[in-house]
A and B are shown apart, each in its own frame.
Chain A
């Protein structure tokens, strides 16, 4: 059957399986991705079926993982690298920023860097330090990288395929607290363009723009607001670099109001970029300043405090009220 209801993690697993199956140059690399199938089991069973040569357990060295993936890409492979958790990508940040992102340009376009870096990110799972962060802006800021994040199983399945097929390096942020959420995946569908935003909920009074784990919160907020007679449009941006500003603009021209919602700290975050650009594009359509809802400029707090830190329904609805009050 073409349409299946799958948890997001399982959809990623199926996607990787398909990629390994279709292209012998695709490799999976990372810590514990083999026998264990990854700490979130996203690569479960893949080493058993494709062998240790395709699904490679690596030494515990993030710079080494990304640096050797670059070398493998130079040799014609398409490595899909797993970084175990968001907070552990930083030893590899040097390789990603100074090498991976620039290789294509430095070679005047003669070589390609088809490397995907999968990072389970974000909070909400009661984890310890370094396991709940949202560093997407640090990557989106870097020319040469593409940064995307699915919010549901269908996107997880298709966006990962598209990322693997891309000749550019892609940072693929997986909303880890959505790994177990189930939704429909049509494995025979023809997917839309990778960087196009999706209207997750149609509305007319105000636009909420979100991606990854926050899309669900925003859709729930829209439902709650609807009970109070407010019509909220929700955009799932799907891609943080590039950002589909056209879709946001179209929505804002209709609603006149925009709130950007993400888990990452608001300060210098993707919300700032979106607010600035949309203000430029839609100045005469805006009925209120673009508002942002997100994390504080503080280290991600201990698990007992994360519900306070993470934007939830109430904070989103509060922002909706503030916007509508203008």
Chain B
């Protein structure tokens, strides 16, 4: 099933209600696009971008390395090294485009799939794997790269982003904040509340919704009757739909929304229209709920291929470049593989670490009991 046919799957309205409506909503509004699936550069009146060949190659490299990292993580899960993996396959342009629009002092609130954004923030990819291997629940210092911990409860982080952005505004800083979430998460109350708060406090936050068409097995039309980006209007801020497989458009649109936030003009909702090429996670079986031809149709819009075509057509990269990048990808995969295999299980006593910042009598008591219990085995072993 192609995505164009999703309109046909929408629940039918009665004739009466359709005639009452002023104009039937188009379910396929114009996407902001700067690079077509065929790799042709096109113009958009509102969004322009001018990148050097070096910068274009940089975006390409980011996408390729992220995809390779993701593939390696999927393989590691299959080999039993990770308990679970949430693949970003197909969403590289949305993540690298938006991620590269950020300044160092901006702050990112991701879900559990933002491996490409993490890459742009300089987070060591092996850091992302701890929670999927089961050695921690996050495990990095969010303040090092201004990249918050992954959030599993869908939608929660949009409120954290909004509050953080309210703080940025209070500080008189001109940084911006970006919150990532999915089309499924858009149904959560927290997302609606974050829209309300950010609008009424004019918070410098960008909501970046990756509409990858599916929330596990539920299609976007199970979440909304209007195109997602149009939600923003009801909250009083702009919404824009961008081709989520076009890294240039994602960069341009996010940059513009971040600048708007920095100027003190408040939030923007970006809907990156994209596709999750793989399973929801390694535990998921998408054959149960979607057809292969849908994926095939989206493969023709692959974010990496189209930039590659463009780079080649413009003469910005030659075969030697692509070969070297393949080599770099393999090196990255090797490093990740080795790091994961070497990742130690946490010390038993870590259960009691950092439950409280200021300590807690019960935790102290139970830690001591647990230590004594553990020690009793050591004694038996002697």
Report Cα–Cα, A118/B151, bound state, in Å.
26
> In the complex, which of the residues A68, A168, A195 has the most CB atoms of chain B within 10 Å of its own CB atom?
A68
CB pair B166–A68 under 8 Å, yes or no, is yes
Q: Which residues of B contact A102 (CB under 8 A)?
A: 137
Report Cα–Cα, A94/B156, bound state, in Å.
9
A-facing residues in B323-381 (Cβ within 8 Å): 353-358, 360-363
B105 nearest CB across to chain A (Å): 12
B127 nearest CB across to chain A (Å): 11
B-facing residues in A70-98 (Cβ within 8 Å): 70-77, 91, 94-95, 98
Q: If the complex has contacts A61-B193, A63-B190, A105-B353, are A71 and B141 also in contact, measured as CB distance less than 8 A?
A: no
Q: If the complex has contacts A63-B189, A107-B140, A243-B362, are A94 and B160 also in contact, measured as CB distance less than 8 A?
A: no
B170 in the interface (beta carbon within 8 A): yes
Interface-facing stretch out of B47-55, B81-89, B194-202, B249-257:
B194-202
B-facing residues in A96-136 (Cβ within 8 Å): 98-99, 102-113
Interface SS of chain B: helix
A312 nearest CB across to chain B (Å): 31
Report Cα–Cα, A59/B190, bound state, in Å.
13
CB pair A75–B163 under 8 Å, yes or no, is yes
Q: If the complex has contacts A72-B167, A168-B356, are A64 and B142 also in contact, measured as CB distance less than 8 A?
A: no
Q: Which residues of A contact B358 (CB under 8 A)?
A: 166-168
CB pair B197–A58 under 8 Å, yes or no, is yes
A289 in the interface (beta carbon within 8 A): no
Q: If the complex has contacts A111-B143, A146-B356, A241-B362, are A71 and B165 also in contact, measured as CB distance less than 8 A?
A: yes
CB pair A143–B196 under 8 Å, yes or no, is no
Q: Kindly identify which residue among B194, B354, B357 contacts A67, using a CB–CB cutoff of 8 Å.
A: B194
Q: If the complex has contacts A67-B194, A68-B163, A74-B164, are A109 and B357 also in contact, measured as CB distance less than 8 A?
A: yes
Q: Which residues of A contact B283 (CB under 8 A)?
A: none
Q: Kindly identify which residue among A53, A74, A95 contacts B148, using a CB–CB cutoff of 8 Å.
A: A74
CB pair B156–A76 under 8 Å, yes or no, is no
> In the complex, which of the residues B137, B160, B168, B200 has the most CB atoms of chain A within 10 Å of its own CB atom?
B160
A7 in the interface (beta carbon within 8 A): no
Q: Kindly identify which residue among A64, A110, A167 contacts B159, using a CB–CB cutoff of 8 Å.
A: A64
Q: If the complex has contacts A68-B163, A95-B156, are A109 and B354 also in contact, measured as CB distance less than 8 A?
A: yes
Report Cα–Cα, A103/B360, bound state, in Å.
16
Q: Kindly identify which residue among A67, A107, A146 contacts B160, using a CB–CB cutoff of 8 Å.
A: A67
B161 in the interface (beta carbon within 8 A): yes
B-facing residues in A278-295 (Cβ within 8 Å): none
Q: If the complex has contacts A61-B196, A64-B159, A98-B156, are A75 and B164 also in contact, measured as CB distance less than 8 A?
A: yes
B224 in the interface (beta carbon within 8 A): no
Q: Which residues of A contact B140 (CB under 8 A)?
A: 107-108, 110
Q: Residues 299-318 of chain A: 1 if any B CB is under 8 Å from the residue's CB, otherwise 0?
A: 00000000000000000000
B138 in the interface (beta carbon within 8 A): yes
Report Cα–Cα, A108/B138, bound state, in Å.
8
Report Cα–Cα, A234/B69, bound state, in Å.
62
A38 in the interface (beta carbon within 8 A): no
CB pair A53–B159 under 8 Å, yes or no, is no
B178 in the interface (beta carbon within 8 A): no
Q: Which residues of B contact A6 (CB under 8 A)?
A: none
Report Cα–Cα, A282/B171, bound state, in Å.
53
B153 in the interface (beta carbon within 8 A): yes
A242 in the interface (beta carbon within 8 A): yes
Q: If the complex has contacts A71-B162, A242-B360, are A77 and B170 also in contact, measured as CB distance less than 8 A?
A: yes
Q: Residues 128-156 of chain B: 1 if any A CB is under 8 Å from the residue's CB, otherwise 0?
A: 00000000111111110000110101001
A144 in the interface (beta carbon within 8 A): yes
A264 nearest CB across to chain B (Å): 19
Report Cα–Cα, A104/B159, bound state, in Å.
17
Q: Which residues of A contact B163 (CB under 8 A)?
A: 67-75
B344 nearest CB across to chain A (Å): 14
Q: Which residues of B contact A53 (CB under 8 A)?
A: 170
Q: Kindly identify which residue among A110, A166, A242 contacts B362, using a CB–CB cutoff of 8 Å.
A: A242
> In the complex, which of the residues B143, B164, B194 has the most CB atoms of chain A within 10 Å of its own CB atom?
B164
A27: nearest chain-B partner, CB-CB:
B170
Q: Can you show 19 pairs from A to B with CB atoms below 8 A apart?
A: A59-B193, A61-B193, A61-B197, A63-B190, A64-B159, A67-B156, A67-B158, A71-B159, A71-B160, A71-B164, A75-B168, A94-B156, A94-B190, A108-B139, A108-B353, A111-B143, A144-B356, A168-B358, A242-B360
Report, nearest first, the 9 A-B pairs whose CB atoms are least far apart: A71-B163, A67-B159, A75-B167, A68-B163, A64-B193, A167-B357, A110-B141, A109-B354, A71-B164
Q: Told that A61-B196, A109-B353 touch, could you supply 10 new A-B pairs with CB distance under 8 A?
A: A63-B189, A67-B190, A68-B197, A91-B189, A98-B153, A103-B149, A104-B355, A104-B356, A107-B354, A166-B357
